[in-house]
Amino acid sequence: MTTILIVDDSPVDRYFTRDLIADQPGFQIIFAEHGLDALQQMRQSAPDLVITDLVMPEMDGLELVRASRREFPEIPVVLMTAYGNESLAVDALYEGAASYVPKSKRVERLVETVYRVLARARANRNRNRSTKFYGKVEATFYLENDPDKIPALLDYVQQIIGGLELSDETEHIRVGVALEEALLHSIWHGNLELTSDELDRSRAAGWEGLKELISQRRSESPYRDRQIVLEVHVTNSTARFVIRDGGIGNQRLSARTFTREDYFGTGDGIGIALMSTLMDKVTYNEAGNELTLIKVSQN
């Protein structure tokens, strides 16, 4: 049984969030009204995932992220943000939250985000913590345009970055989340040339709607002939990931280095917002079809 703690001072929002994920198999939902209540429950029985609002009495979501990271670095926290709280969301992600979902996009994105973050936390728990290396690891992977094959690859990559001495377990989870966002972004927007509106409309119909859209686009030319190349370069001090898609490139992304504040606000570009916040540097090449993500050890 997977236990998810929902933290929100609004009963309406608590139950609405619960209803979005309660019918998923194997989920047990528990509630807290604010950060102090959440921490007390976590100390009694640690959940597998925390979903929290940002603005709450007693202890807000930002303070909860900080406290949770100190006491429970292996428990990922997903933020929910209302319009107007973007600066707090940036701060909370910078402090250690694993992902975020604007409240206006909960219907389309929450379930998908929950599953993906849980998978990265599970891979982190299962990695071999005794694996430390001195030197470097380099590997190249070739991916089809099939999102279902990404989790297994990420599990393996998280084993590789186990040798990178990041600050704590939270950072290992966050690197996995950022890398997954980058791979999906390259498949969906690069190789398959899907827009954010197309993806959100399909998400509104549930998992099957999203899978149907991707399956249909993957079967069409020229999309079916494209692939993703992932290059992994890891030393004791730095992890660098280069992701190249086979699409036509995006001039809007050309030669850009993204900051933590990019793309927050409307709910568009959530993947880029997460990448630029969870990693230390995110840069596109001039053609807009090659993405480099860098994470530097803080030890």
259 plus 218 within the same structural domain: yes
Where among 123, 153, 179 does a domain terminate? 123
The whole-angstrom separation of Cα 262 and Cα 288 is 16
- Give the pLDDT of residue 164: 67
- Give the pLDDT of residue 266: 41
CATH of the domain at 198: 3.30.565.10
Give one word for 21, left, alpha or beta, with left for phi > 0 and alpha for psi -120 to 50.
alpha
- Give the pLDDT of residue 207: 74
Q: What is the number of domains present in the chain?
A: 2
181 plus 291 within the same structural domain: yes
256 plus 133 within the same structural domain: yes
CB 39 within 8 A of CB 71: yes
Alpha helices for the chain (secondary structure H): 11-21, 35-44, 61-71, 86-95, 106-126, 150-160, 169-185, 196-203, 207-218, 270-278
Per-residue pLDDT band for 73 (boundaries 50, 70, 90) equals very high
Q: What is the pLDDT of residues 2-37, one digit of tens each?
A: 999 999 999 999 999 999 998 888 999 999 999 999
CA dihedral sign, ordered 12, 17, 20, 21: negative
3-state secondary structure 202-252: HHCCCHHHHHHHHHHHHCCCCHHHCCEEEEEEEECCEEEEEEECCCCCCCC
Where among 97, 123, 149 does a domain terminate? 123
Where among 77, 102, 123 does a domain terminate? 123
- Give the pLDDT of residue 268: 45
3-state secondary structure of 290: strand
Cβ count near 58 (within 10 Å): 13
Choose among 153, 198, 166: nearest CA to 279: 166
114 plus 137 within the same structural domain: no
281 plus 144 within the same structural domain: yes
Distances (CA, A) of 208 to 133, 199, 271: 42, 12, 21
CB 86 within 8 A of CB 107: no
The whole-angstrom separation of Cα 100 and Cα 184 is 16
195 plus 292 within the same structural domain: yes
CATH of the domain at 14: 3.40.50.2300
Per-residue pLDDT band for 129 (boundaries 50, 70, 90) equals low
- pLDDT at 198 > cutoff 80: yes
Q: What is the pLDDT of residues 272-289, one digit of tens each?
A: 878 888 999 999 999 999
| Residue 144, domain extent | 127-296
112 plus 153 within the same structural domain: no
